[in-house]
Structure 1
Amino acid sequence: MSEEKLYAVKNDEGKWLCIEAKGCHYWSRDDGDFLDQHDADILAHVYGGHVVELIEKPNPEVVSKAEAKMLDKAKTASYPANYISMHAHPDPGANGTSYDELRLMRALVNGYTVAKEKKYNIKVPHTEGWHFQKYSRESKRGSHNDWKPFPAKDIDSNMSKELFLFT
């Protein structure tokens, strides 16, 4: 099943057409009524204005923790675009704007989420099935409580898999 697109009617002053239940209409700067294309075409012809296709909100950009902090500061800056330009990586593309700068501008406009840090197992060199293990309260206990000391062979089901994951 295909998704049906939504439309609205907008005039040259940037106001949206609103239709009340009694058939009265008014123009609003803040919001308008969502319509199918046929109704929007008719109302644009009757009341003036033009049909605007409404699009879905874009997916948020994925940014690092450091980039998220920078974007938070950019939101409060007098000129957010300049703030991003000054703090984005200085590796310019063909038009003088870096890829990171464009990506961060999109993040500021469309929203962003912070990327989760990837975690990895680190194998002990020249061994089979041995992995390094983080030092933590559990790993320092040694063999009591069935905890194996650092490094450990394979990942035992009793052990926390989190002990073997590094960023």
Structure 2
Amino acid sequence: MSEEKLYAVKTDEGEFLSFSDDGDSVWNKAVGHFEKDKQKARSWAYNRGGHVVTLIEEPKKVVLTKEQAEIVEGTRDATYPASYISNYTNSHDCEENLLINAYVNGYTVAKEKKYNVKVPHTKDVWYYKASEAYLQTICPADKKLRGKFTEADIDNFGLQDCEKEEVTDDDD
């Protein structure tokens, strides 16, 4: 986010000070004149009425993991949101700041990476999930038939030592 600010002159009725092509000032609800120099905006407000308002950029949304997003959602009903976040993080100051920023400015959830996992010591044999509890092996050239495993799946099935390749959106 840029540190540069813009200023405008606005009335209590929501109209902005604007200038016509010939330099005359007019009040307009839809558009106004914006100025980088706060002193100049103050001068316009003094001479033409109204007050100075600061225009700011909308903050960028924070990208969170699914687990972090669940913590932020839990704060919606909390009496003390910052305490709630602090209680559900592993006292990592950076993570707390990230989650508080997400609570205030909004967030998006990162897409979880998925992988095809190769059976060790084979030429072209890949694992796929027959169910949440069972693995099967296949030898297809068609990558769509291969399993798409998350990091949690890889840990769950004990496949950490296997060769893996990340699945991209192009592979789907």
TM-score when scaled to structure 2? 0.60
How many residues in Structure 1 have an aligned counterpart in Structure 2? 134
- Runs of 5+ in structure 1 lacking a partner? 26-30, 92-97, 137-148
Q: Give the Cα–Cα distance (whole angstroms) in 2 for the partners of residues 102 and 32 of structure 1.
A: 37
Q: Which amino acid aligns with 1:165?
A: K
**What is the RMSD of the two structures over their aligned residues, measured on CA atoms?**
3.8
Aligned pair in 2 of structure 1 residues 150, 44: CA closer, same or farther (>3 Å)?
same
State whether structure 2 residue 113 is matched by structure 1 residue 115: no
- Runs of 5+ in structure 2 lacking a partner? 19-24, 151-172
Aligned pair in 2 of structure 1 residues 37, 165: CA closer, same or farther (>3 Å)?
same
Q: Which amino acid aligns with 1:45?
A: S
Aligned to 1:164: 147
- In terms of fraction of residues, the more strand-rich structure is 2
- Do 1:9 and 1:43's aligned partners in 2 also have CA atoms closer than 8 Å? yes
Aligned pair in 2 of structure 1 residues 80, 116: CA closer, same or farther (>3 Å)?
same
- Do 2:78 and 2:84's aligned partners in 1 also have CA atoms closer than 8 Å? yes
- Do 2:66 and 2:110's aligned partners in 1 also have CA atoms closer than 8 Å? yes
Q: Give the Cα–Cα distance (whole angstroms) in 2 for the partners of residues 123 and 78 of structure 1.
A: 48
Aligned to 1:61: 62
- Do 2:35 and 2:41's aligned partners in 1 also have CA atoms closer than 8 Å? no
Counterparts of 1:75-94 in structure 2 under 5 Å?
Answer: 75-91=76-92
Q: Give the Cα–Cα distance (whole angstroms) in 2 for the partners of residues 126 and 63 of structure 1.
A: 37
Q: Which amino acid aligns with 1:35?
A: H
Candidates 35, 42, 45, aligned match of 2:43 = 45
CA deviations over 1:112-148 (Å, ceiling 9, x no partner): 1112221001110001221111215xxxxxxxxxxxx
- Do 2:62 and 2:105's aligned partners in 1 also have CA atoms closer than 8 Å? yes
